[in-house]
Amino acid sequence: MSSPKGASKPSPIHRAGFVSFVGRPNVGKSTLTNALVGEKVAITSSKPQTTRRAIRGIVHAADGQLIIVDTPGIHRPRTLLGQRLNDVVTATLGDVDVIGMCFPANERIGPGDRFINESLNDFPRAKKVAIVTKIDATSRPAVAQQLLAVSELRDWEAIVPVSATSRIQLDVLLKELVALLPESPSLYPDEQRTDETLEARISELIREAALEGVSDELPHSLAVTIDDMVERDDKDLVEIYANLWVERDSQKGIVIGHGGERLQDVGARARAQIEPLVGKQVFLSLRVKVAREWQRDPKQLGRLGF
Ligand SMILES: Nc1nc2c(ncn2[C@@H]2O[C@H](COP(=O)(O)OP(=O)(O)OP(=O)(O)O)[C@@H](O)[C@H]2O)c(=O)[nH]1
């Protein structure tokens, strides 16, 4: 069959693939993921090492689809939980097309950055891009200095300065990342932004609310499970029954707060985030429970979803 007259030009190249952002804790990986995806999919927090799961955010660009696999910070394991985090990182990075290593513009490159940069040699398949984050937080000369320092670490495919919170250069970064992906049709439907289950996203929002304004020892000791989600027939309402797990009785006190005030606050903040997600009113029941030393116990880790 001959081709019809005036057949349309071959369509432009479409790309799709996986990217993972790595870097020391607190360099802005989760915030960058959220800013690129345009919807809250990854937990962000001012506390380091709060990202546990490989969460995918999906960015739909005109010429490609970028699937972001958000990994926890690479660090040396201290507990069994730490060990599992590193396993997640290794499994994830072995599988992605592009690794975006993040360096905050406002902090000098240190041994932690060098350690991670060197470990990237173990993943030869992935193309490596340097992302200088938080450029809003420092001066232009300091950003320039950081770009130079980063360029000396390895032969990057690209070096892109960005600010996730001020939304500076996000389009440039997206273009660079998509250009490095393999030619492929979209891997996910257009309307989809994440492949996390609703339950997992709700758990993360509760965890994030519970971590706000607590002392540094708590983040690793906090896990959330959802017992039940009930859609009410008579009202536009979802009832969510969740447990907040801590390791020690003393931590239980911290989470609940004086007269239960803190827990009420946590519930209110979590609910405000969950309601737009489920598109309904939410009744949220939070119970704080103690699972002793759960970070070191494989059985408990399994039960808590790690
Ligand atoms: N000024 C400024 N702050 C930022 C920017 N991006 C992130 N931050 C802040 O940096 C802190 C850490 O951000 P996260 O996105 O949680 O960092 P992360 O690298 O995902 O941290 P882990 O999950 O611990 O690995 C938060 O307080 C953010 O608000 C940015 O572009 N500008």
Domains contained in the chain, CATH given? 15-179 (3.40.50.300), 198-303 (3.30.300.20)
Query: How far does residue 48's CA lie from ligand 1's centre (Å)?
Result: 9
Query: Is the C-beta atom of 25 inside 6 A of ligand 1?
Result: yes
Name the nearest CA neighbour of 67 among 57, 77, 76, 75.
57
ipTM surpassing 0.95, yes or no? yes
Residues in Cβ contact with 107 at an 8 Å cutoff, skipping those fewer than 6 apart: none
Query: How far is it, in rounded angstroms, from Cα 35 to Cα 152?
Result: 28
Please indicate if the annotation marks 57 as binding a ligand: no
Name the nearest CA neighbour of 26 among 53, 50, 42.
50
Query: How far does residue 303's CA lie from ligand 1's centre (Å)?
Result: 29
- Cα–Cα distance list, 135 to 99, 127, 145 (Å): 20, 23, 12
Please indicate if the annotation marks 89 as binding a ligand: no
Structure token digits, residue 303: 């039960």
70 CA closest ligand 1 atom index: 20
Name the nearest CA neighbour of 225 among 163, 135, 181, 288.
288
Per-residue pLDDT of the chain (306 residues; tens, 9 = 90+): 444 444 455 557 899 888 999 888 889 988 898 899 876 555 554 444 444 445 557 888 888 889 887 665 555 545 555 565 566 667 778 778 999 999 999 999 998 899 889 888 988 889 999 999 999 999 999 999 999 999 999 999 999 999 999 999 999 999 999 999 999 888 776 666 666 678 888 988 998 898 886 766 566 678 888 888 898 888 889 999 999 988 888 888 888 888 889 899 999 999 999 998 888 899 999 999 887 766 666 666 666 655
Structure token digits, residue 150: 């980063």
Name the nearest CA neighbour of 18 among 154, 177, 201, 164.
177
**Residues paired with residue 223 on neighbouring β-strands, in sequence order:** 245
Residue whose structure tokens are 């997640």: 88
Query: How far is it, in rounded angstroms, from Cα 50 to Cα 278?
Result: 23
Query: How far is it, in rounded angstroms, from Cα 24 to Cα 116?
Result: 8
Query: Is the C-beta atom of 100 inside 6 A of ligand 1?
Result: no
Phi, psi of 231 (to 5 degrees): -85, 120
pLDDT of residue 5: 45
The helix/strand/coil state of 220 is helix
Query: How far is it, in rounded angstroms, from Cα 69 to Cα 246?
Result: 27
Query: How far is it, in rounded angstroms, from Cα 27 to Cα 50?
Result: 12
pLDDT of residue 3: 41
Query: Is the C-beta atom of 207 inside 6 A of ligand 1?
Result: no
Query: How far is it, in rounded angstroms, from Cα 277 to Cα 127?
Result: 34
Query: How far is it, in rounded angstroms, from Cα 30 to Cα 36?
Result: 10
Are the C-beta atoms of 82 and 76 separated by less than 8 Å?
A: yes
Please indicate if the annotation marks 136 as binding a ligand: yes
48 CA closest ligand 1 atom index: 24
